[in-house]
């Protein structure tokens, strides 16, 4: 059989395009902001990860422009050999200080950070305990490692304990890895109990704080700060593609762990480093996060308003406890139909269907920014209310 037979047989996307409800790869004609332009039409953006609204901040843009002027457009090599700039070291130094840890290491994307960290620290005789709802980059990091992966039910620490107990006598080292904030559900990992289990069963903890840094904790240091358990997390991972308004990823940990990963991680050593513009814009974003904690308050004010608004209307928003608020719709086709009407009515949100969620649990993932205006948020609630009634989702 021809290798490409599967590609020829893949017709779902084309069918959706023809029928006019294809929701992916939408080209945005404006900058990433609380309002975007698509097909010449303005839409309110409630489908980004731009939590602090820093993509359009003049200070962040200026830093990127200046970095291009000083360092050029790219690094043409990996951190390991010719691609380390003084800017990368400055950013790592600043991140370690911000996160109150000994050392930091930057990768070119968040995805590569998880791949290159998990696959490096987990050896063939080690065990990984991973939450079933963890991000795809953690799933792939586990697959790439030579260790054995054991999945526990989403945020179910009794299940985790059952599995830790069952495997107490096997394997060498143990890693428990979880998202701090889960990207589709918007709930927060039960870190206090996770820490207790890690101590009881001698496991190390890695948290993916992609959606937590700049969001959780008064100063935005993430899930550890939120629970006042920062010193109990062995490795914190973050990305620059969300609150930091750029691209790239990082980990913070003890210096000896970072030094090991620096010299063994294939996604770091065999991939070109973050470009100067991205690196400098992250430093500028970090300055703002440190100096303007009121942005985090603004983000939460908007998140609380929307959570309360959806609840008052009678929508099911699951276990969301963060600015990520999913709205339960139903089966996949109903979810696409709801998404399409939102889009036609000027709201950009994201449809989430199987296999990302169980059958019948399709949802619209919405997420909020510090810079959404009250008028924008009111409009979003009004459109959801009208469509929710039409679809029989609310009374
Ligand atoms: C929880 C989580 N981890 C990791 C990543 C990957 O980050 P990046 O987009 O920077 O590659 C994402 C982004 O989609 C994410 O949501």
pLDDT of residue 330: 95
pLDDT of residue 379: 98
CA–centroid distance, 249 to ligand 1, in Å, is: 8
Sign of the dihedral defined by the CA atoms of residues 241, 116, 182, 230, in that order: negative
CB distance 204 to 198 below 8 Å = yes
Question: Which contacts (CB < 8 Å, 24+ apart) does range 151-158 have?
Answer: 154/182, 154/185, 155/131, 155/182, 155/187, 155/189, 155/190, 155/319, 157/190, 157/193, 157/194, 157/197
pLDDT of 387 reads 98
Confidence (pLDDT) at 171: 78
Residue 111 CA to ligand 1 centre (angstroms): 6
Rounded mean pLDDT, 146-162:
98
Residues classed as catalytic: 183, 211, 242
Per-residue confidence (pLDDT) for residue 358, from 0 to 100: 86
Q: What is the pLDDT of residues 50-93, one digit of tens each?
A: 999 999 999 999 999 999 999 999 999 999 999 999 999 999 99
Under the banding of pLDDT at 50, 70 and 90, the label for residue 369 is: very high
CA of 110 to the centre of ligand 1 (A): 5
End-to-end CA distance of the chain: 53
Question: Which of 241, 245, 251 gets mutated to test ligand 1 (max ligand atoms within 8 A of its CB)?
Answer: 241
Span from the CA of 165 to the centroid of ligand 1 (angstroms): 31
Dmax (CA) for the chain in angstroms is 62
**What average pLDDT is seen over the chain?**
97
Query: Pocket residues for ligand 1 (CB within 6 Å)?
Result: 109-111, 114, 135, 137, 179, 183, 208, 210-211, 239, 241, 249
Q: List Cβ neighbours of 186 (8 Å cut-off, separation of 6 or more).
A: 317, 318, 319, 320, 321, 322, 323, 324, 325, 326, 367
pLDDT tens, position by position, 230-268:
999 999 999 999 999 999 999 999 999 999 999 999 999
pLDDT in tens, 93-110: 999 999 999 999 999 999
- Reported as a single tens digit per residue, the pLDDT across 308-340 is 999 999 999 999 999 999 999 999 999 999 999
- For ligand 1, atom 7, name the residue with the nearest CA: 110
Q: Which atom of ligand 1 is nearest to the CA of 241?
A: 10
Two tokens at 31? 């900058």
pLDDT score, position 356: 86
Mutational pocket test of ligand 1: of 113, 136, 239, 350, the residue with most ligand atoms within 8 Å of the beta carbon: 239
pLDDT computed for residue 357 by the predictor: 87
Q: Which ligand 1 atom sits closest to the C-alpha of 181?
A: 1
Confidence bin at 170 (pLDDT 50/70/90):
confident
% of the chain residues with pLDDT over 90: 98
* pLDDT above 90: residue 140: yes
Q: Are 221 and 98 in contact (CB under 8 A)?
A: yes
Measured in Å, residue 67 CA sits from the centre of ligand 1 at: 25
Mutate to test the pocket of ligand 1, among 210, 212, 237 (most ligand atoms within 8 A of CB): 210
């Amino acid at each position: 059989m021809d290798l490409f037979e599967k590609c020829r047989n893949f017709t779902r996307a084309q069918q959706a395009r023809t029928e006019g409800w294809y929701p992916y790869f939408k080209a945005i004609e404006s900058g990433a902001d609380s309002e975007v332009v698509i097909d010449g039409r303005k839409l309110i953006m409630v489908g980004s990860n731009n939590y602090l609204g820093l993509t359009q901040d003049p200070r962040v843009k200026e830093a990127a422009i200046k970095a291009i002027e000083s360092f050029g457009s790219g690094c043409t090599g990996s951190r390991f050999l010719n691609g380390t700039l003084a800017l990368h070291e400055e950013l790592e130094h600043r991140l370690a200080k911000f996160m109150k840890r000994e050392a930091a290491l930057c990768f070119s994307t968040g995805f590569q950070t998880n791949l290159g960290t998990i696959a490096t620290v987990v050896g063939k005789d080690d065990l990984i305990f991973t939450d079933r709802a963890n991000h795809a980059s953690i799933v792939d990091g586990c697959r790439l490692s030579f260790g054995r992966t054991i999945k526990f039910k989403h945020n179910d620490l009794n299940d985790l304990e059952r599995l830790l107990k069952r495997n107490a006598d096997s394997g060498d080292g143990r890693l428990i890895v979880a998202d701090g904030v889960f990207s589709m559900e918007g709930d927060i990992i039960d870190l206090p109990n996770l820490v207790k289990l890690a101590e009881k069963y001698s496991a190390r903890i890695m948290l993916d704080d992609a959606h937590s840094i700049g969001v959780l904790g008064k100063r935005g240091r993430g899930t550890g700060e939120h629970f006042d358990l920062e010193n109990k997390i062995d490795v914190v991972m973050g990305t620059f593609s969300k609150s930091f308004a750029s691209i790239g990823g990082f980990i913070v940990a003890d210096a000896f762990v970072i030094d090991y990963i620096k010299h063994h991680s294939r996604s770091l050593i065999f991939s070109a480093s973050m470009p100067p513009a991205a690196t400098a814009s992250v430093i500028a974003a970090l300055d703002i996060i440190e100096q303007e904690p009121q942005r985090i308050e603004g983000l939460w004010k908007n998140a609380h308003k929307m959570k309360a608004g959806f609840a008052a209307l009678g929508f099911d928003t699951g276990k969301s406890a963060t600015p990520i608020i999913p709205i339960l719709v139903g089966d996949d086709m109903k979810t696409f139909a709801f998404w399409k009407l939102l889009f036609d009515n000027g709201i950009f949100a994201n449809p989430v269907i199987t296999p990302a969620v169980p059958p019948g649990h399709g949802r619209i993932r919405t997420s909020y920014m510090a810079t959404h205006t009250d008028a924008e948020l009111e409009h979003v609630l009004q459109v959801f209310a009208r469509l929710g009634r039409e679809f029989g989702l609310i009374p």
